[in-house]
Structure 1
């Protein structure tokens, strides 16, 4: 049996443990650790696009909407305030707005938040109060006067505060905020060179990590300690190696897994420099979904000339055929099939097989629906 919920409303900022701007990876990880409070969670998304908005329905009271590109919490909706399984209490500062003993009505909102603009809902900067249950009450509008002070609030919606005062589009990305500090804004990929990481806030200096040059110590200094260190045991790919020396060296290689940034680094066991970099897209429905946070990578092409300051780029959300054409329009690169559920007997997924497409210095892992789930630099 789940325990009662008591959460505070922070207009424009969050609700209880949820902060506007939190990543999908962080929120799902938190829900997994708080199963006693949130035992039932449904994940809804469009499987045909990498930038699908993701909706977490935390039964029965919460809907959490995540923006499609950066997978950050955009909108929080509290519903079924009278559902007692479990009961929920909403607070604002020192006020109790709604509880099992107290029904939230129009009068209570007006007393707490003050006057607002005319309309069917009560809208304030960063929070609104609706008298419809899941929008199904459209046909019932007009049966009660908007001036009826006893109207019961059915939904509370929390979003970022719009500086221009208008309504925020549900498909917009989340503006930079406190919850993003220290997280990756974008990762610029240069084949045969490495990556440049740009962090929030946007004024932070970028971090450059180079293949064969940056060391394990550099990674710890720039990114902090990895969440996991994994010593390489899977040698199935060494059969494709052209160098017997590289095969012998690989026995002592190890991974630094930065799950919180969506990046893996393979480090040489002899020189302790970075040998490979793997960037993960966290595509919903793919075998690696939620193991890594989305790393919003961009592959940078060659500039047209020395004065070109904006060379062409392909992003994680572009389709695999577009990226393949960008990397080698006249090439037919070799590819291999990979089933990531081979080692997980209890796991079955409709799209478990991915394709590895190899280029000089780069490997794309793509799904059957032409989405790129990871990029490997070597």
Structure 2
């Protein structure tokens, strides 16, 4: 049984880890993966047809905890403990919920202090005690209600028979019904750059590069802890050195082709340079990949990921908040990470016959999410999911030549 500390309007956790309001979905998953054997039976719940309307949820049924993430920002907005019997809880180091200590109304008021009068919902038969960023829900039998007011004074309980908490919610703000995911807290930056917005720089029917608005956290003794706003440009045709100088070292370098027989060579740990292969710089926190030519080491493709649940690469990247302006005969069209492909096709004329993309790995040849369709338009490839949302955007082609001239 987990023993966790409740921090109103902020977090739920222990000394080893902490679920913090505002943290990204992938960061919560990383915590769960690091606690394998301690946190068990994890479920991810989402709506495949309405991924931008219904919350993304991580359910921990063996611990009685649900984490609700905003479907657009994919940041944590509500922490719900829906089964108090499966977890031990503390506040300011003192226990208020355990098998030996029931969280009654008296115990909650003793542990958390005075609050505003609670509210009683006669239809749901639930009495709620609200603190800022924290709500306790008590199931109440209607036979205990007296009078017509909906507060604690309208309820009367026999001695020693007051209700105990059935659910607990941690959120940011004054009401759980209106709770919004806060901005990512500084404690979740971990020295990484994060993307605020990516503007795709276009020429006449070709792409030049990207203008990136970035966020960086600083936390040291020399200056106050703060979040810095940076603007960087990266262009097709730029060198690997120029791009890494602009946006930092990649999270990972991936080579497109690997000789699987190389393991039998005497120097298997060394990369063979005679058989060169193109390589990617993976920037997971930016939702961005940059493909470099093996010989010239110049950027020849950008891949922008939207990180929708139900896609093969879901949770590998954070969502790239891109804006793609395209000039058409009827004016400018702006496509972003939330555009529906059916709406896009009303304004553009992409390739009629798409390419079917069905990803599979060597260890698991079955793709549980099904295939996607890739449509071409000028120097852009749109990867479209079955729900008609854009899974990724690949930009390549003549822009690389233009970018190299300007770099």
Summarize the Cα distance change of 1:269–1:348 in structure 2 as closer, same or farther, 3 Å threshold. closer
CA-to-partner distance for each residue in 1:296-324, whole Å, 9 max, x for gaps? 222233599xxx9xx75222121112234
- Of residues 58, 61, 78, the one that matches 1:59 is 61
CA-to-partner distance for each residue in 1:221-262, whole Å, 9 max, x for gaps? 444332221112189xxxxxxxxxxxxx99532111122332
Given the alignment of the two structures, is residue 78 of structure 1 paired with residue 86 of structure 2, yes or no?
no
Which shows bigger deviation, 360-369 or 48-57? 48-57
Give the greater-gyration-radius structure (CA): 2
TM-score by length of 1: 0.80
CA distance in 2, matches of 1:266, 1:32: 29
Name the SS for the 1:252 alignment partner: coil
User: Are the counterparts in 1 of residues 234 and 246 from structure 2 also a CA contact under 8 Å?
Assistant: no
Given the alignment of the two structures, is residue 358 of structure 1 paired with residue 376 of structure 2, yes or no?
yes
Given the alignment of the two structures, is residue 185 of structure 1 paired with residue 206 of structure 2, yes or no?
no
Match of 1:97 in 2: 96
Which shows bigger deviation, 193-202 or 22-31? 193-202
Match of 1:241 in 2: none
- Aligned-CA RMSD value: 3.0
Summarize the Cα distance change of 1:167–1:303 in structure 2 as closer, same or farther, 3 Å threshold. farther
Bigger proportion of residues as strand = 2
Matches within 5 A, 1:126-141: 126-132=133-139, 140-141=141-142
CA distance in 2, matches of 1:105, 1:374: 50
Residue 206 of structure 1 deviates from its aligned partner by: 1.9
Given the alignment of the two structures, is residue 154 of structure 1 paired with residue 156 of structure 2, yes or no?
no
Given the alignment of the two structures, is residue 38 of structure 1 paired with residue 39 of structure 2, yes or no?
yes
Which shows bigger deviation, 353-362 or 108-117? 108-117
Residue 292 of structure 1 deviates from its aligned partner by: 2.1
Structure 2: runs of 5+ lacking an equivalent: 120-126, 147-151, 217-226, 260-273, 397-407
Work out the number of aligned pairs and report it: 339
Match of 2:27 in 1: 26
CA distance in 2, matches of 1:234, 1:275: 20
Residue 195 of structure 1 deviates from its aligned partner by: 1.8
User: Are the counterparts in 2 of residues 266 and 275 from structure 1 also a CA contact under 8 Å?
Assistant: yes
